[in-house]
Homo-oligomer: A and B are copies of this chain.
């Protein structure tokens, strides 16, 4: 790989001049500029980003660190695509650290990304007082949180109106005549879990329906526990006629359980899930779900981050996006 020096030698100028041409510093005379450009082309030169980064903290590294709790979750895949799309359009690269809900791994990735001099981080904190993220913020790194915010810390945030989304879903169920509606919640300590719970309660209260703790079960936010908790609901003496599942993995687990038992959807049991997936139409029956605009969340968070990188002291922003209830067939019609 050729270096600045090689180009400079070939063009018969100094490295400074070559650098100036590259950074389109217009003090360079037109014909030297042409000589340099010719040399660059001939040598097939591309700047070494590692050296660029080492040189100055003033110049951006054009690298964005991304900390994702679970890359297997299709919601995050959408988010990643959105981030990557925006980053690509702004000449930046994304390094993904998938920490699989593992705090040790999260910490390691933070350290690595820091020492790679990333310009900033996009993070879905593993809980609202995540100490590592907090430290990062206090150290002054540009940070944008997605999906969930942080307690006691001001930080840019892009998320969805969870409460409203769940409210709509439960209201839809109620409109279809359901009165006994189960809820498989996510992990207890996640802010999203509380917000979604609030949406559920809001809808139930508004229509004067009983909120029966027996049919509100808390899961571990994953497939297996979604399957298990749904089984629990179905085995109750007085089971719900409809279930709201608080994320896509839980929903999938629930569907597995329902199918295994040969129950018909929606006749025997209706279901609405949080998180839409692009293959919701391929399910039988097609799944009614609360759509989070994952791609959009990704794009906006990346936009926010790049803004902050360029202007570290702009005031903190929160972007709350709307969900959309995708009505298909799993609740009846």
Q: Identify which of residues 44-81 in chain A touch chain B, using a CB-to-CB cut-off of 8 Å.
A: 46-51, 53-54, 71-72, 74, 77, 80-81
Give the distance in Å from the alpha carbon of A28 to the alpha carbon of B114 in the complex. 29
Give the chain B neighbours of A98 by CB distance below 8 A.
80-81, 84
How close is A5's CB to chain B, nearest CB, in angstroms?
14
A88 CB contacts on chain B under 8 angstroms = 105, 108
Residues A65-110 near B (CB distance < 8 A): 71-72, 74, 77, 80-81, 84, 88, 93-98, 105, 108-109
> Any chain B CB within 8 A of the CB of A112?
yes
Contact of A114 among B46, B54, B93 (CB under 8 A): B46
Q: How far is the CA of A111 from the CA of B255 in the complex (A)?
A: 44
Q: Which residues of B contact A53 (CB under 8 A)?
A: 50
Contact segment of A202-210, A212-220, A274-282:
A274-282
Find chain B residues with CB under 8 A from A282 CB.
252-253, 255-256, 259, 283
Among B1, B46, B283, point to the contact of A284 (Cβ < 8 A). B283
Contact B252 A115 (CB under 8 A): no
Tell whether A286 is near chain B: CB-to-CB under 8 Å.
yes
Which of B84, B109, B114, B265 touches A1 (beta carbons < 8 Å)? B114
Determine if A223 is an interface residue (Cβ-Cβ < 8 Å). Answer: yes
